[in-house]
Homo-oligomer: A and B are copies of this chain.
Amino acid sequence: MELIRSIEKMAARSRKALEQKKIIGFVPTMGSLHEGHLSLVRRAKKECDLVVVSVFVNPSQFGPQEDFAAYPRNLKQDRRLLQTVKADILFYPEAAAVYPKNYRTCVQIEGLLTKKLCGFFRPEHFKGVTTIVAKLFNIVLPQRAYFGQKDAQQCVVLKKMAADLNFPVEVITLPTVREKDGLALSSRNKYLSLEERRQAPELYQALLVARKMIERGERNISKVEKAMKTRLSTIKNLKIQYASVVDGETLDSGKIISGNILIAIAVILGKTRLIDNLILKVKK
């Protein structure tokens, strides 16, 4: 596996690969890699000629009260894991090179898409995400980029950004990888105490409750959302940010469940923010 720290070297490497007609697959990450990330790399290896994984904890997508400083970093282990899945290039730029002192430009989606769900609780988050991903796309020049479904809104937002700005990149979403007890893999699971870790799979259970209701014919959104909240209400030290059933593409909420829908939950468990979701197709 090639290790590249310099933005210029990465850009030159990608240009060369394009000239050799190689399909570049890209997996942007914040490091602290787990099976979820590795599943993206494995898929990229199947579909592309050159797989680039970036590790960059992007300061601009963290709010001022959030966990940027505490976010787990473990490049040595990331490197080892990426070797096991045969990633071709690990790109880990320095923050000072990514955002030089006089940096001023942003890429953002205007309107409600980035203001709902997680965006309501993390107002600058998606602006940080779209900006860094636009930058990385321009450096890595991928034809295919892979993201985990766990960050459902991020997937929707990045597909919209790539389409609106005509990036020659296909944004591909792969299923959430879970622990045996259902907890969605996340680098932030490391923050959980033993007791919190024991409770955390309840997010997934609440999603299953919602899915079962819908599969059995329930079409009233408030009833389903209420059932999820009731299921979560028994957990100690848990604050619900949202437990919502929304349109899978626009993330609009409505009254009646229909079409491609997203069932999504965000909570604060102790001090740790956890999110999870399921997607579902409901016949009209």
**What residues of chain A have their CB less than 8 Å away from a CB belonging to chain B?**
7, 11, 15, 18-19, 21, 103-111, 113, 130-131, 134-135, 138-139, 141, 160-161, 164-168
Residue of B nearest to A10 (CB): B166
Q: How far is the CB of A96 from chain B (nearest CB, A)?
A: 14
Known: A106-B110, A138-B165. 9 other contacts (CB 8 A): A19-B21, A104-B113, A105-B107, A105-B110, A105-B164, A107-B134, A108-B108, A135-B164, A138-B167
* CB nearest neighbor in B for A168: B11
State the Cβ distance, A119 to closest chain B Cβ, in Å: 13
Tell me the smallest distance from the CB of A16 to a CB of chain B, in Å: 10
Contacts of A107 in B (CB 8 A): 105-107, 134, 165
Q: Is the CB of B166 within 8 A of A135?
A: yes
- Distance in Å: Cβ of A161 to nearest Cβ of chain B: 5
Given A19-B19, A21-B19: A138 and B168 interface contact (C-beta under 8 Å): yes
Instruction: Give Cα A138–Cα B161 distance, bound, in whole angstroms.
Output: 12
Rank and list the top 10 A-B pairs by shortest CB-CB distance, nearest first: A105-B164, A138-B166, A135-B166, A139-B166, A104-B109, A104-B111, A19-B21, A105-B109, A138-B167, A107-B107
Q: Can you name 13 A-B pairs with beta carbons within 8 Å?
A: A7-B166, A19-B21, A103-B164, A105-B108, A105-B109, A105-B110, A105-B161, A106-B107, A108-B108, A134-B134, A135-B164, A138-B166, A138-B168
Complex contacts, A111 vs chain B, CB 8 Å:
104
Q: Among the listed B105, B109, B166, which residue makes an inter-chain contact with A165, where contact means beta carbons less than 8 Å apart?
A: B105
Closest CB in chain B relative to A26 CB, distance in Å: 14
Chain B residue nearest to A113 (CB atoms) is B104
Identify which of A104, A105, A161 gathers the most chain B CB atoms within 10 Å of its CB: A105
Shortest Cβ gap from A17 to chain B (Å): 11
- Taking CB as reference atom, which chain B residue is nearest A98? B166
CA gap between A104 and B138 in the complex, in Å: 20
